[in-house]
Amino acid sequence: MKRSSLYFALSLVLVLGGFTACKTEYDHVLESNDANLKYDAAFKYFNAGKYSRSAALFESLTLLTNGTERYDTVMYYLGLSNYSYKDYYTAEANFNQYLTYFPQGAFSEMAQFLRIDCLYRSTLRYELDQTPTYTAITAIGEYLRDHPTGANADICRHRLQELGDRLDRKAFENAKLYYKMEDYRAARVALKNVLKDDADNIYREEILYYSAMASYKFADMSVPAKKKERFLVFQDDYLNFIGEYPESSHRKELDALYEKVKEKN
């Protein structure tokens, strides 16, 4: 029994010793409290493209360097490591934290842009929730306000236009859905509201076309006593449309409906 216990104890020592022996240089550095050793190693792994390891080291360094001159560099490279590792969700949080602590820091402009890039990558196609799009637009606006001639200002302006166009499409498609459902009264109201909220919507021509079509179909489906009054609404919509888009591809179709209504009235 004693011999068995001795064998067990020896085996346990060997196993634990094996675990210790299996620890890599990276494991030892990660567990170390030597800030200089960890700092040098973090950059070594970062420069070698081993971003998950550099991220872990920079994260552990945030505690060791807090309040020192290295803190802003550590926080920025923590975000840059996660960004390079394509963990954009974590990187965005890292850059946001950096900007909170160092709004005028040495890396602030680049951190601001890279945060925008992370937010931009998280935006969704127009059919889905556009909350991330609004967040990205706000961040881009802040960058352009702070750095109107910055190195990445043109990229930000292009993305701002792209995201704005996406919101325009969502607003248009949501309103047009009533038209597809043949709820023409609601369709016209919804389409007009899109332009009320944003007169420069890039789908303005289509919005005015569907508004005219909705008013025509709503009038045409009405009881006889209401038709004349409601066709007058269509005529107004028609005249508004051709006043803005006299060369539109929809002109021929709307002209025919207008002539038809004039004959009835």
* DSSP string over 211-252: HHHHHHHHHHTS-HHHHHHHHHHHHHHHHHHHHH-TT-TTHH
Mean per-residue pLDDT, 220-237: 94
Mean pLDDT taken over the chain? 92
Q: For residue 133, what are its two tokens? A: 């799009």
- For residues 241 and 235, what is the distance between their CA atoms, to the nearest angstrom? 10
* pLDDT for the residue 263: 81
Q: Is residue 155 part of a domain?
A: no
User: Comparing 87-96, 122-131, 175-184, which segment has the lowest mean pLDDT?
Assistant: 122-131
Question: For residue 107, is it within any domain?
Answer: yes
45 part of a folded domain? yes
**pLDDT, tens digit, for every residue of 229-243?**
999 999 999 999 999
Q: What pLDDT sits at residue 4? A: 52
pLDDT digits 0-9 by tens, 21-66: 468 899 999 999 999 999 999 999 999 999 999 999 999 999 999 9
Q: Which residue is listed with tokens 């009835």?
A: 264
Does a structural domain hold residue 105?
yes
Task: Give the model's confidence band at 228: pLDDT under 50 very low, under 70 low, under 90 confident, else very high.
Answer: very high
Residue 127, pLDDT score: 87
Number of domains comprising the chain: 1
Residue 184 lies in a domain: no
Query: Phi and psi (nearest 5°) for 116?
Result: -60, -45
Domain extent for 72: 27-116
Does any domain span residue 127?
A: no
CATH code, domain with 102:
1.25.40.10
Residue 88, in any domain of the structure: yes
Distance CA 147, CA 162 (A): 20
Helical axes 251-264 vs 224-244, angle rounded to 10°: 140
For 79-100, what is the mean pLDDT?
A: 97
Distance CA(131)–CA(137), nearest Å, equals 10
Percentage of the chain lying above the pLDDT 90 cut: 86
**Do the domain assignments include residue 94?**
yes
Indicate the pTM of the whole model: 0.82
Angle at 151 between CA 148 and CA 153, to 5 degrees: 40
